């Protein structure tokens, strides 16, 4: 059975209590079996407007002088509950006002003596485990063990861990992530070899004007290169595609149908070997040249000779500039003369001897024929792009009938 002492504010069980009413005619006794009608008993929460009780009080037990009052949870949701009994219909019993104070807890919520004794026992047990006196208001104790992942950075005092507290394995682990003395020394040597800003400035200031001019000419040529030049494989693929679109005479004349990049490299290697240019010869070139003039045969030039050489160098430089103006139109990697001659001979071998006086005469004749062909093709019309408009009357001297449409197909005339 629920307890209602004191009444819990907004308690789920609500509240139940009993009262007795005095009769209108005083006789020293409580009213027996009082009667109630709607509006006789009203309630006010924290001084709010009066309202009828949700449940009208009843005489319990029946025909007795006790009146049972039942309050719902909503009717207990107040700090002060005021209930007024007033016999509105008759003059059977006297008015009665009741004020109730609610609380958050009831007497049943208080600890029992057994609970208090258990707390006291636990407290006494703790007292035997802590030091007799506190140090600066704190317990002074030695920790024998600690749970995992409990100690934090903030809990460790600054400089609390020194070399003496670090295990050998910890020192090794730290050193493994640092650069060694030898590595630092190697790095320092590399840094020392780098030129300083002053050395770079001096080197740039001492650059010869002629060298700078040549550099400018080279830059002018490289500026014409595309930002993203085609890959060699893309160029080779383009030539292969071009060869696949040529007719048999063009493929035979150029060799595009038989020579890919690997075949060209093989032909060039063969040509170099035929010319006597081998890796062995190239490897011994410096040694052979350096032995041509022994030190005993060298005579240092005098000042006059040096001045003459300087003048000639100026003349040579002018000649180099003139040559550069001529070679500027050459590709960055021109073919060797022997390769050009060999390629020309190969083309001539494929083309054969000119039919006329010369290749130029043959080309002129081809141009004339091409002009005649163009005259014919200019008369063609193309209603649909890429398709020639034609009115075919016969094929191989056979007359045709029909226009090619559905129901009127091409065919030989009857």
Per-residue pLDDT at 1? 54
Q: What is the mean pLDDT of residues 57-86?
A: 97
Quick one: 369 exposed, middle or buried, by C-beta within 10 A (0-12, 13-18, 19+)?
A: exposed
HSE-up of 286 (CA within 13 Å, CB side)?
A: 2
| Low-confidence winner among 115-119, 333-337, 370-374 (lowest mean pLDDT) | 333-337
pLDDT at 356 over 80: no
Read off the pLDDT of residues 162-174 as tens digits, 9 standing for 90 and up. Answer: 777 778 787 777 7
CA 58-61-65 angle, 5° bins: 75
Look at the domain 7-109 and name its fold: Immunoglobulin-like (2.60.40)
Provide the mean pLDDT of the chain.
80
pLDDT at 152 over 80: yes
pLDDT at 239 over 70: no
User: What residues have CB less than 8 Å from 254, skipping those under 6 apart?
Assistant: 243, 246, 347, 350
Q: How far apart are CA 28 and CA 402, in angstroms?
A: 138
- For residue 383, give Cα distances in angstroms to 380, 387, 390: 10, 7, 10
- For residue 32, give Cα distances in angstroms to 68, 85, 89, 119, 387: 13, 16, 17, 51, 123
Per-residue pLDDT at 342? 84
- For residue 33, give Cα distances in angstroms to 24, 98, 230: 14, 20, 115
pLDDT at 12 over 60: yes
* Domain range list for the chain: 7-109
Residue 10, classed as helix, strand or coil, is: coil
- For residue 115, give Cα distances in angstroms to 2, 112, 126: 21, 5, 17
User: What residues have CB less than 8 Å from 2, skipping those under 6 apart?
Assistant: 13
Per-residue pLDDT at 229? 74
Q: What is the mean pLDDT of residues 146-155?
A: 85
pLDDT at 51 over 90: yes
Confidence of residue 272 (pLDDT cuts 50, 70, 90): confident
pLDDT at 414 over 90: no
Q: What is the mean pLDDT of residues 276-284?
A: 71
Confidence of residue 106 (pLDDT cuts 50, 70, 90): confident
> Of 51, 30, 29, 32, nearest to 40 (Cα)?
51
User: DSSP per residue over 339-402, as a string?
Assistant: HHHHHHHHHHHHH-S-SSSSHHHHHHHHHHHHHHHHHHHHT---SBTTB------EETTEEEE-
pLDDT at 70 over 70: yes
- For residue 268, give Cα distances in angstroms to 283, 340, 342: 19, 11, 10
Count of other CB atoms within 10 angstroms of residue 78: 20
Per-residue pLDDT at 289? 52
Q: What is the mean pLDDT of residues 187-192?
A: 82
Read off the pLDDT of residues 251-263 as tens digits, 9 standing for 90 and up. Answer: 555 555 556 677 7
Share of the chain above pLDDT 90, in %: 22
CA 332-335-340 angle, 5° bins: 150
């Amino acid at each position: 059975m629920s307890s209602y002492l004191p009444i819990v504010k907004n308690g789920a069980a609500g509240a139940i209590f009993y009262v007795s009413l005095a009769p209108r005619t005083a006789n020293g006794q409580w009213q027996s079996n009082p009667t109630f009608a709607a509006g006789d008993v009203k309630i006010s929460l924290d001084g709010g407007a009066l309202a009828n009780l949700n449940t009208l009080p009843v005489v319990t037990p029946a025909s007795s002088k006790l009146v049972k009052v039942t309050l719902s949870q909503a009717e207990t949701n107040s700090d002060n509950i005021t209930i007024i009994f007033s016999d509105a219909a008759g003059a059977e019993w006297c008015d009665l006002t009741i004020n109730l104070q609610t609380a958050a807890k009831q007497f049943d919520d208080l600890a029992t003596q057994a609970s208090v004794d258990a707390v006291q026992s636990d407290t006494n047990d703790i007292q035997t485990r802590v030091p007799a006196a506190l140090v600066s208001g704190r317990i002074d104790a030695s920790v024998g063990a600690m749970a995992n992942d409990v100690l934090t950075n903030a809990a460790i005092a600054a400089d609390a861990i020194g070399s003496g507290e670090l295990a050998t394995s910890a020192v090794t682990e730290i050193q493994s992530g640092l650069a060694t003395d030898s590595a630092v020394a190697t790095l320092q040597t590399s840094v020392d070899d780098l030129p300083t800003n002053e050395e770079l400035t001096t080197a740039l200031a001492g650059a010869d004007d002629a060298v700078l001019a040549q550099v400018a000419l080279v830059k002018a040529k490289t500026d014409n290169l595309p930002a993203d030049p085609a890959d060699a494989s893309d160029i080779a693929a383009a030539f292969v595609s071009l060869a696949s679109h040529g007719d048999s005479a063009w493929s035979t004349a150029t060799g595009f149908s038989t020579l890919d990049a690997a075949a060209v490299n093989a032909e060039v290697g063969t040509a170099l070997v035929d010319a006597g240019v081998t890796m062995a010869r190239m490897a011994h070139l410096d040694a052979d040249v350096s032995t041509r003039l022994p030190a005993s045969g060298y005579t240092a030039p005098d000042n006059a000779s040096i001045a003459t050489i300087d003048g000639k160098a100026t003349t040579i430089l002018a000649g180099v500039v003139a040559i550069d103006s001529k070679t500027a139109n050459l590709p960055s990697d021109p073919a060797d003369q022997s390769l050009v001659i060999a390629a020309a001979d190969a083309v001539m071998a494929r083309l054969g001897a000119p039919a006329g006086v010369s290749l130029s005469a043959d080309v002129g004749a081809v141009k004339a024929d091409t002009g005649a062909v163009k005259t014919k093709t200019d008369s063609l019309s193309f209603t649909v792009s890429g398709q020639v408009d034609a009115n075919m009357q016969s094929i191989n001297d056979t007359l045709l009938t029909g226009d090619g449409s559905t129901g009127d197909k091409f065919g030989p005339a009857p």
